[in-house]
Amino acid sequence: MNQPTTPSGEHLLSNMPEKAAVEATAPPSSPPAAKTIRVALIGNPNTGKTTLFNALCGLRQKTGNYPGVTVEIRKGYFHYGDHTFEVVDLPGTYSLSPRSPDEMLAVELVLGLRTDEPAPDVLLSIVDASNLERNLYLTCQLFELGKPVVLALNMMDLVERQGKEIDVVHLQERLGVLAVPMKANRKIGLEALRESLLQAAAGKAPPLPKVFPEQLERELVRLADWLRERLRLQNLASSVHVEQKCQQQLACSRFLLQRLLLDVGGSVERRVRAVTGEELTSVLDAARQRLAEQGIALAGLEPRARYSWLRERLRGCVHQVREPATNWTDRIDRLLTHKVYGTLIFLALMLLVFWSIFSGAEPVMHALEYGITRGGEFLADLFLPQPGMLRSLFLDGVIKGVGSVLMFLPQIMILFGFIAVLEDCGYMARAAFLMDKLMARCGLSGKSFIPLLSSFACAIPGIMATRVIEDRRDRLATILIAPLMSCSARLPVYNLMIAAFITTQGFLGHLLPALVLLGMYLIGITLAPLVAWALKRTVLQGETPIFLLELPPYQIPSLRLIAYRMVERGWAFVRRAGTLILASMVLIWALLYFPRTGPDHRGNEIDYEATCAELRERLDSAEDRATKERLHQEYLAVQGQWRRNSWLGRAGRWLEPLIRPLGWDWRIGMAALASFPAREVVVGTLGIIFDVGEDFEGEAESRQLRQQLQLATWQDGSGKPLFTVSVALSLMVFFALCSQCVSTLAVIRRETNSWGWPVFTFFYMTILAYLGALLVYQVGKYIG
Residues in the chain: 784
Q: What is the pLDDT of residue 613?
A: 85
Q: What is the pLDDT of residue 289?
A: 92
Helix (H, G, I), strand (E, B) or coil at 575: helix
Mean pLDDT value of segment 693-716: 69
β-pair type (36-43, 122-128): parallel
Helix (H) or strand (E) holding 783: helix 756-783
Helix (H, G, I), strand (E, B) or coil at 266: coil
Contact yes or no for 406/387 (Cβ under 8 A): no
Which of the four pLDDT bands, split at 50, 70 and 90, describes residue 662? Answer: very high
CA 599, distance to chain mean position in Å, is 47
The residue out of 275, 303, 331 marking a domain boundary is 303
**In a shared domain, residues 146 and 244:** no
Highest mean pLDDT, choosing among 348-362, 468-482, 719-733: 719-733
| E strand residue ranges, 29-148 | 36-43, 61-65, 72-80, 83-89, 122-128
- Has residue 712 been placed in a domain? no
- Render pLDDT for 445-462 as a digit per residue (tens, 0 to 9): 777 877 887 787 678 878
How would DSSP label each residue in 483-526?
GGS--GGGHHHHHHHHHHHS---STTTTTHHHHHHHHHHHHHHH
Highest mean pLDDT, choosing among 146-155, 241-250, 358-367, 481-490: 146-155
Highest mean pLDDT, choosing among 349-353, 610-614, 761-765: 761-765
Contact yes or no for 424/555 (Cβ under 8 A): yes
The residue out of 265, 286, 303 marking a domain boundary is 303
Which of the four pLDDT bands, split at 50, 70 and 90, describes residue 350? Answer: confident
**Is the predicted pLDDT of residue 179 greater than 90, yes or no?**
yes
- Render pLDDT for 558-594 as a digit per residue (tens, 0 to 9): 788 788 878 877 776 676 556 656 676 677 778 878 8
- Has residue 237 been placed in a domain? yes
- Name which of 497, 535, 533 is nearest 516 in CA terms: 497
**Is the predicted pLDDT of residue 359 greater than 80, yes or no?**
no
- Has residue 394 been placed in a domain? no
Q: Burial letters for 166-198: b for 16+ Cβ neighbours within 10 Å, e otherwise?
A: bebebbbebbebbbbbbbbbebebbeebbebbb
**In a shared domain, residues 100 and 244:** no
Mean pLDDT value of segment 520-533: 89
- Has residue 60 been placed in a domain? yes
- Has residue 553 been placed in a domain? no
What distance in Å separates the CA atoms of residue 514 and residue 516, rounded to the nearest whole number?
5
**In a shared domain, residues 194 and 233:** no
- Has residue 118 been placed in a domain? yes
**Is the predicted pLDDT of residue 177 greater than 50, yes or no?**
yes
What distance in Å separates the CA atoms of residue 76 and residue 60, rounded to the nearest whole number?
6
**Is the predicted pLDDT of residue 228 greater than 50, yes or no?**
yes
**In a shared domain, residues 70 and 162:** yes
Mean pLDDT value of segment 689-714: 68
**In a shared domain, residues 130 and 219:** no
Is the omega angle on the peptide bond into residue 7 within 30 degrees of 0, that is, cis?
A: no
**In a shared domain, residues 167 and 218:** no
Percent with pLDDT over 70 in the chain = 81
Highest mean pLDDT, choosing among 154-158, 329-333, 363-367, 436-440: 154-158
Mean pLDDT value of segment 388-409: 74
What distance in Å separates the CA atoms of residue 492 and residue 497, rounded to the nearest whole number?
9
**In a shared domain, residues 227 and 289:** yes
Q: What is the pLDDT of residue 85?
A: 95
Burial class (CB in 10 A: 0-12, 13-18, 19+), 150: buried
Highest mean pLDDT, choosing among 125-139, 434-448, 534-548: 125-139
Domain count, the chain: 2
Say which range, 177-191, 220-234, 665-679, 689-703, has the weakest mean pLDDT. 689-703
Q: What is the pLDDT of residue 65?
A: 47
Contact yes or no for 8/116 (Cβ under 8 A): no
Helix (DSSP H) and strand (DSSP E) numbers for the chain: 36, 11
**In a shared domain, residues 156 and 52:** yes
pTM: 0.66
Average pLDDT, the chain: 80
**In a shared domain, residues 39 and 158:** yes
What distance in Å separates the CA atoms of residue 466 and residue 290, rounded to the nearest whole number?
43
Which of the four pLDDT bands, split at 50, 70 and 90, describes residue 508? Answer: low
Provide the residue range defining the domain that includes 72.
Answer: 10-202
- Has residue 396 been placed in a domain? no
- Has residue 381 been placed in a domain? no
Helix H, strand E, coil C: the string for 152-197 is: EEECHHHHHHCCEEECHHHHHHHHCCEEEECEHHHCECHHHHHHHH
Return the higher-pLDDT residue of 497 and 249: 497
Return the higher-pLDDT residue of 764 and 255: 764
Which of the four pLDDT bands, split at 50, 70 and 90, describes residue 63? Answer: low
**In a shared domain, residues 175 and 26:** yes
Q: What is the pLDDT of residue 715?
A: 73
**In a shared domain, residues 117 and 65:** yes
Q: What is the pLDDT of residue 47?
A: 87
Tell me how many degrees the CA angle 282-287-291 measures, rounded to the nearest 5: 145
Contact yes or no for 148/317 (Cβ under 8 A): no
**Is the predicted pLDDT of residue 496 greater than 60, yes or no?**
yes
**In a shared domain, residues 258 and 159:** no
The residue out of 202, 232, 254 marking a domain boundary is 202
